[in-house]
């Protein structure tokens, strides 16, 4: 399964659904926390995945897009678990994943561990 097959391009309906309230919210959020992307980067570096997930949920609740709106997160999660969990015992793997697969409803770390995988963050 190719990664490109998991992309979900935005529909015109989805793009048009973002209204003035959603935009006002993002502008207010930026005033409150500074550049949103830089703020998320700092949370990521500090390993505050719960805060990233919470911010994503807040942004989505206000009618804005989230990264999972543009990918089939269920398929990506299933593919990642299948490929990583089926590596031969003792195999090391370096994997870079969207933060959404590491926290929140799509997190798969517990599932990997249940398959015997040792999961370690790299500083």
Mean of all residue pLDDT scores within the chain: 80
pLDDT for res 106: 66
pLDDT category at 3 given cuts 50, 70, 90 is: low
> The pTM is what?
0.58
Angle at which helices 49-61 and 36-45 cross, to 10°: 150
Asked if pLDDT for residue 30 goes beyond 90, the answer is: yes
Q: What is the 3-state secondary structure (H, E, C) of the chain?
A: CCHHHHECCCCHHHHHCCCHHHHHHHHHHHHHHCCHHHHHHHHHHCCCHHHHHHHHHHHHHCCCCCHHHHECHHHHHHHHHHHHHCCCCCCCCCCCCCHHHCCHHHCCHHHHHHCCCCCCCCC
pLDDT tens digits for range 32-85 = 999 998 998 898 888 787 788 788 889 888 888 776 677 777 787 788 888 888
């Amino acid at each position: 399964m190719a990664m490109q097959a998991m992309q979900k391009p935005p529909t015109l309906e989805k793009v048009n659904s973002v209204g003035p309230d959603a935009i006002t919210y993002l502008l207010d959020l930026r005033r409150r926390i500074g550049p949103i992307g830089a703020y998320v980067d700092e949370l990521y570096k500090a390993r505050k995945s719960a805060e990233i997930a919470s911010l994503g949920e807040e942004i989505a609740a206000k009618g804005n897009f989230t990264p999972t709106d543009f990918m089939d997160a269920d398929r990506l999660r299933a593919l990642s678990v299948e490929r990583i969990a089926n590596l031969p015992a003792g195999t090391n793997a370096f994997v870079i994943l969207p933060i959404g697969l590491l926290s929140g409803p799509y997190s798969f770390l517990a599932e990997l561990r249940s398959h015997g995988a040792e999961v370690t963050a790299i500083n």
